[in-house]
Amino acid sequence: MSAYIKSLCRKANQASREMAIVDSKAKERALKDMAKALMANSTHLIEENKKDIEYGRRDKLSAALIDRLLLNRKRIKGMADSILEISKLKDPVGEILETRVRPNGLVIKKVRVPIGVILIIYESRPNVTSDCIALCLKAGNCVILRGGSEAIHSNIAIFETLEREVLKHKLPNGVITIIKGTDRNVVSELLMQEGLIDLVMPRGGESLIREVSKNSRIPVIKHYKGVCHTYVDESADLKIAQDICFNAKVQRPGVCNAMETMLVNRMIAKKFLVPMIQRFKAAGVEIRGCGETMKIITDIKRACEDDWYKEYLDLILSVKIVNNIDEAIGHIMKYGSRHSDAIVTRNKKMAEKFLNEVDSACVYVNASTRFTDGGEFGKGAEIGISTDKIHARGPMGVEELTSYKYVIYGKGQIRK
């Protein structure tokens, strides 16, 4: 196995040097045909996806996780639309970020370049396969994909559909690679390929990310769990607050930008919580509340300390009443994952305080956390949502999949 993995990585590494100089128009043409190919093969993709759904139900995955796995024509069209949007984005490779002319006449330019070979280790969502391929190609990178066993049939079908277009357009051999087996030892071997792989991005549960971060000899950017909060301030428009909170929890609960904890100012707690929780219950949401919440809504579960840290990825919500914005911010900074957090308020001062003091990748005023998404941010898609602070934060699009180098022009200068 080691020799096989090393050969795949060497092939990708060689391809990365060729891919870095592929013409922008060539990449655009390939991506447009890849989008068409997804639509043309939608029946096959859905049939392969049914195998994963069947296995998921057999393994008793939650309804939210089954939803993450599901492919239908609407979602395949969404995948194709994302590739089309990515194809139309400005090519970041070669962009001059900065130019300086030194007193000695040296001209120093800071220029965007591809990162190289990117390894994506991910779980559940088949659209990650197409999104990552499209984004990496647009940014001049090569990508090695290692998806989870729960979506293996879907991932391979999507990959093979897109690979045919890559070959047709004669992009470098090895520019996209997928690991088709489900042997867990493969991940450990991939993480040892220092010098052949330039960056690792794990997308999945907390245990996966901890394992990758612990064992990788390659730099890691973490797509960490999304313990997202919405704080309803005492000055909030309660109708707007209710709609935002409902959307953030219910619209698609099995994704990382869904709200997991709702914080409510004591001054409006009763007026807000009674209709809000009634609406949540009607949608099948299980409520786990603090002691103060249980005084208002008695027929709910009591939240324990561990609940405040949890990414449920399901129709479960933790609710806490707080005295003021400082307590809300303190709770977020203690229990949150620095992913996406929101305040609902009509008070500009409170909004600015929240924006300035909550140190998360994405911080919202009067909007649902569900917007933390590459497509919603105008990036076409994202390769991941970084909760790190180094290199990139939030949805990572084509710009975040580049590094830079300095290009220096001289006329015979020597250093004295």
- DSSP letters spanning 278-305: HHHHHTTPEEEE-HHHHHH--SSEEP-G
Whether 214 and 293 share a structural domain: no
The pLDDT value recorded for residue 169 is 97
State the residue for tokens 């965007």: 112
Q: Does residue 276 fall inside a structural domain?
A: yes
Q: Does residue 172 fall inside a structural domain?
A: yes
CA dihedral (18, 24, 27, 32) in degrees, to 10, reads 180
Whether 234 and 214 share a structural domain: no
Q: Does residue 389 fall inside a structural domain?
A: no
pTM of the model: 0.89
Q: Does residue 416 fall inside a structural domain?
A: no
Token code pair at residue 355: 């924006």
Whether 292 and 203 share a structural domain: no
Whether 339 and 246 share a structural domain: yes
Give 76's contacts (C-beta < 8 A, 6+ positions apart): 38, 39, 42, 45, 46
Whether 120 and 194 share a structural domain: yes
Whether 179 and 217 share a structural domain: yes
State the residue for tokens 């030194």: 102
Closest CA to 377 of 332, 340, 329: 340
Q: Phi-psi region for residue 174, left (φ > 0), alpha (ψ -120 to 50) or beta?
A: left
Whether 292 and 163 share a structural domain: no
Q: What is the CATH number of the domain that holds 280?
A: 3.40.309.10
Whether 112 and 239 share a structural domain: no
Q: Does residue 383 fall inside a structural domain?
A: no
Whether 19 and 139 share a structural domain: yes
Sequence length of the chain is 416
Q: Does residue 388 fall inside a structural domain?
A: no
Q: Does residue 385 fall inside a structural domain?
A: no
Whether 76 and 185 share a structural domain: yes
Whether 163 and 80 share a structural domain: yes
Q: Does residue 6 fall inside a structural domain?
A: yes
Number of folded domains in the chain? 2
The pLDDT value recorded for residue 208 is 86
CB 209 within 8 A of CB 224: yes
Whether 150 and 12 share a structural domain: yes
pLDDT tens sequence for the chain (416 residues): 588 899 999 999 999 999 999 999 999 999 999 999 999 999 999 999 999 999 999 998 888 889 889 999 999 999 999 999 999 999 999 999 999 999 999 999 999 999 999 999 998 789 999 999 999 999 999 999 999 999 999 999 999 999 999 999 999 999 999 999 878 889 999 999 999 999 999 987 778 888 999 999 999 998 878 999 999 999 999 999 999 999 999 999 989 999 999 999 999 999 999 999 999 999 999 999 999 999 999 999 999 999 999 999 999 999 999 999 999 999 999 999 999 999 999 999 999 999 999 999 999 999 999 999 999 999 998 988 999 888 999 999 999 999 999 999 999 999 98
The pLDDT value recorded for residue 1 is 58
What range defines the domain where residue 345 resides?
Answer: 228-371
Closest CA to 49 of 109, 113, 129, 103: 129
The one-character DSSP state at 384 is -
Strand 362-365, strand 259-265: pairing = unpaired
DSSP 139-191: TT-EEEEE--GGGHHHHHHHHHHHHHHHHHTTPPTTSEEE-----THHHHHHT
Q: Identify the three-state secondary structure at position 228.
A: strand
- Number of Cβ atoms within 10 Å of the Cβ of 234: 17
